[in-house]
Chain A
């Protein structure tokens, strides 16, 4: 299941930024999904990475749709394909803005109705495509172009919101752990009904770190406990290996924060809030995994 195929569905020389974690994640997503797949992409970095008409950098069809509409568009697509007896994978591939902010109504509607599709949110914690403005997924203390002094509010917990819809499968992932991501996409697509994968997507220009450090940044996020890899399969939580290890012996959060320009000058209060929130989430997930909550 974790043997990643050699087939590529992303051509070389896309218009992605150097070190783009979004396109790295998409590469594994498509390897797992295979050619009988349609991507639905709202306004986001991916819609730019594809290139300019008539060219496309992807070897699966991509339906680009308006920002707020991806999950609803995928609902109609999935319904029509199933009505015609087709099993084609319908995958929404949306950024954090299109998911946690403007697209949340359509996302919630599609999950509530039990749409047969996979919704992937690749999360670079800001509106990367338009030059790094804050989104609901931006963490507390992070500087963006619309929070120049650091964001005052904490990151919106989209996973808890999606979990409240009780989908058969949901998971978090990061392209720094490709086998983990690959197997999660496979697993998600094996279910009928709505499934969700939330991928942390470190963004070199937005987070202000060197382009060659993308994978390292993803690993730092997991090893410091600032991003927890887990799955929720038919309601049952499993914390995945790398995060299990990080919970036993985490790296200091400062290593993750210091490596990024967006946290320069962050207040100690903001760091304390971020750490407290991450710990609270870890405790909650541990209890859920043990079945004690």
Chain B
């Protein structure tokens, strides 16, 4: 069914198709519409799920953990400070190998108080063991949620998945949306370590160094295995619904001498910048990094690279730019742009490409002694 929807409504609609047993959530701007819409579905009987209106995000993730460990499918959604308030439990979900799916509506972290798009919230959770995907359109938000359940619940993965969408730019923007009855696309959840009174054991007990070390390695091994699972899931999705995205969405990269790398809506904006630059005779392309964990392999050899980060690690650099430098050996021109919802147009991105200085970092719009 073709319709128009906001990113938030698309996420909620995908959750309805995924039919989780438990949804536990707390409202926060700009995520609120997701949990409101799910509450509507539950209230009207369109979705048969236990909706737990918890008293905090820490409890939202704790409730998802409690549900998931019984072998039930669990979902939550949050944003920014909510995500950080649940940070302890974000670790717990991955460490306990629970395939929880969470939508995070990317929003700046205070202070100052700012509700607009920024990837720093999710990137501060990057070392928790969650898979992270960043989407670039309302359709992709819908599709990514459906695929996230398949990927998280695959026996080779059994790690939670965070679907990230830019606050307001996607969460509150109407775009065309093709909704597909998911049917049996998501297989039933079979959790091999489901808690069972018939087979009593200790979950998350005191663990000595040797076993703890093995558990950590096991998370990393599953992270690596998840690359194949993501590909297979996308193949199945393509065969069923006709859409695919990849670990990284490339645009006009085949003959590109300069590549713009970004995530989320900035990555989509970069495609328009590429078209503009091509009209000017610049052989530009773009790579929109979708999966940040596991981190993709980018083929950037022999090309200039411009990385646009809507995030920052203080005292270190743009997180995407530094990750690309570390994994590819490229010396990207790192542009910090869009923090706290700063407007960045395709013309601005084209400007970054024209003015690129490999190995340097600039803060868009910051001049003089700020």
Contact = CB atoms under 8 A, between A and B. Distances in A.
B63 A76 contact: yes
Interface stretch (A64-72, A140-148, A206-214, A278-286): A64-72
A272 interface: no
A64 B200 CA distance: 13
Interface stretch (A51-59, A166-174, A184-192): A51-59
B58 A69 contact: yes
Determine the main DSSP class of B at the interface with A: mixed
A199 B58 CA distance: 27
Contacts of B89: 66, 69
Given A76-B65, A76-B66, A59 B200 contact: yes
B59 interface: yes
Say which size band chain A's interface belongs to. 35 or more
Contact of B67 (A38, A50, A66, A80): A80
Nearest to B69: A63
Given A37-B197, A61-B195, A63-B203, A75 B70 contact: no
Interface string B44-70: 000001101111101111111111111
A222 interface: no
Contacts of B62: 65-66, 69-70, 72-73, 75-76, 106
Contacts of A181: none
A2 B80 CA distance: 52
Nearest to A60: B200
B21 A83 contact: yes
B53 A113 contact: yes
A75 B205 contact: no
A153 interface: no
B203 A73 contact: no
A36 B198 CA distance: 7
Contacts of B339: none
Interface in B189-213: 195-197, 199-208, 211
A162 B344 CA distance: 52
B74 interface: yes
B364 interface: no
Interface string A216-260: 000000000000000000000000000000000000000000000
A50 B197 contact: no
A66 B92 contact: yes
Interface in B58-111: 58-72, 74, 88-89, 92
Given A105-B56, A109-B54, A72 B207 contact: no
A55 B202 CA distance: 8
Nearest to B91: A66
Given A38-B195, A58-B202, A76-B65, A84 B58 contact: no
B202 A83 contact: no
Interface string A56-100: 101111111110111111111111111110001000000000000
B350 interface: no
A37 B200 CA distance: 9
B197 A38 contact: yes
A81 B70 contact: yes
B64 A50 contact: no
Contacts of A65: 62, 65-66, 92, 204
A293 B61 CA distance: 41
B24 A66 contact: no
10 contacts: A35-B197, A51-B202, A59-B200, A72-B56, A72-B58, A72-B63, A76-B68, A80-B67, A80-B70, A84-B72
Closest 9 CB pairs of A and B: A76-B66, A109-B55, A76-B63, A72-B59, A77-B66, A56-B202, A80-B72, A69-B62, A72-B62
Interface of B: 21-22, 24, 49-50, 52-56, 58-72, 74, 88-89, 92, 195-197, 199-208, 211
